[in-house]
Structure 1
Amino acid sequence: MQCPRCESTHIRKNGKKASKQNYICAQCGRQFIDSYDLQGYSEEIKRECLEMYVNGLGFRAIERLKNVHHTTVITWVKKTGEMLPNSPENGEIPEITQVDELETFVGKKNKIWLWTAVNKHHPGILAWVLGDRSSETFKLLWLIIRCWNSYFYVTDGYPVYPCFISNEDHIVSKTYMTRVEGENSRLRHYLARLHRKTFCYSKSEEMLRYSIRLVIYYLKYGSVALPTHSADKLEVIA
């Protein structure tokens, strides 16, 4: 046995700590035990908690079911959300883009809108922004989707859209918005804080952003991603 500090082999027993033999180095005085239990939760527990979160459960419901403190689950969501992009990479440019707004809350009374854009012919949210319902917020989304040069952009006729989308490219029709409305409904179904009648709500815009990233990733790939020990990498947990 060696001292973990000076690597001396001149070691003596020095009582016990938590029923484990304690040692002391006669050379440098460092105290230590022979073996340490691994601290923290397993990757399996993290995966299960995050999967429960992106399948409609709130933090305290997860705490009740998994005996993991809700603040720990919040930390996992934050760390994962920080590493994920807003939307998964998409190689196909949509010929027809559908755009819509989803209303939710930050706090119990402060309204915020999630603006989403999808490909009419394929599932999944391709781009989104958070903010108020003004043209300034939609402008952020328009800077992304206008680069697609879609043949048509389909909206519900909200007055902000004609300020950016030319008449010849703009289709106003609720009938042709089934894809984007379906994607927004899936977000409400899979994320507790977006449910229409719930005790769960976002306390910060930052946490709402992280949560949206997680559920979009999950709906795209059918799996959750966890931060690895490296600060700049994610590990996909299937």
Structure 2
Amino acid sequence: MMKCPSCGAQTRQHKIGFTKAKSQRYKCQYCEKKYTPEPKPRGYPDSLRKQAIKMYLDGINFRRIGRLLNIHHQSVINWVNAYAEELPDASLPEEVDDVEMDELYTFIGSKKTESM
């Protein structure tokens, strides 16, 4: 018999259908809570996520990774963004020794008109 994770009751647990992952759902008649005793994992395995991130770091674009691994490219983008947020901020040097600059001209319209 199922045990309600909310109130602990073991009686009056009724089946109310299945989840998208085909796990049985139950409803406790005492506390009216719905639960899945052993939910099946959803999503992609961590090994696939790590492989996609490694491929991105090797220079492969999102859509190519998606095609190679048979996943949607937006999933790869989300994983890379989440990975980037976990990285520490890059430390900038407090003092710069040498600065090199070059001239840059921008032409708008035609090369006869020079503006900076």
TM-score scaled by length of structure 1: 0.36
Measured after TM superposition, the shift of residue 39 of structure 1 is 1.9
Q: Name segments (4+ residues, structure 1) moved above 6 Å.
A: none
TM-score scaled by length of structure 2: 0.66
Match of 1:33 among 32, 36, 47: 36
CA, structure 1 residues 28+57, in 2 after alignment: closer, same or farther (shift >3 Å)? Answer: same
SS of structure 1 residue aligned to 2:40: coil
Partner of 2:49: 46
Q: Work out whether 1:158 is the aligned partner of 2:75.
A: no
Counterparts of residues 1-238 of structure 1 (less than 5 Å): 1-14=2-15, 16-17=17-18, 20-87=23-90, 144-146=94-96, 149=97, 153=98, 155=100, 158-159=102-103
Q: Distance in 2 between matches of 1:144 and 1:51?
A: 32
- Looking at secondary structure, tell me which structure has more strand per residue: 1
Residue correspondences, number: 101
Measured after TM superposition, the shift of residue 71 of structure 1 is 1.4
Measured after TM superposition, the shift of residue 10 of structure 1 is 1.7
Measured after TM superposition, the shift of residue 56 of structure 1 is 1.3
Q: Distance in 1 between matches of 2:45 and 2:25?
A: 27
* Alignment RMSD: 2.9
Identity score, percent: 29
Does the 8 Å CA contact 2:4/2:13 hold for their aligned counterparts? no
- Runs of at least 5 residues in structure 2 that lack an aligned partner in the other structure: 105-116
- Runs of at least 5 residues in structure 1 that lack an aligned partner in the other structure: 90-126, 128-142, 161-238
CA, structure 1 residues 5+73, in 2 after alignment: closer, same or farther (shift >3 Å)? Answer: same
Q: Which amino acid aligns with 1:54?
A: L
Q: Distance in 1 between matches of 2:23 and 2:81?
A: 36
- Looking at secondary structure, tell me which structure has more helix per residue: 1
SS of structure 2 residue aligned to 1:75: helix
Does the 8 Å CA contact 2:13/2:28 hold for their aligned counterparts? yes
Measured after TM superposition, the shift of residue 82 of structure 1 is 2.4
Q: Distance in 2 between matches of 1:22 and 1:78?
A: 33
Does the 8 Å CA contact 1:13/1:21 hold for their aligned counterparts? no
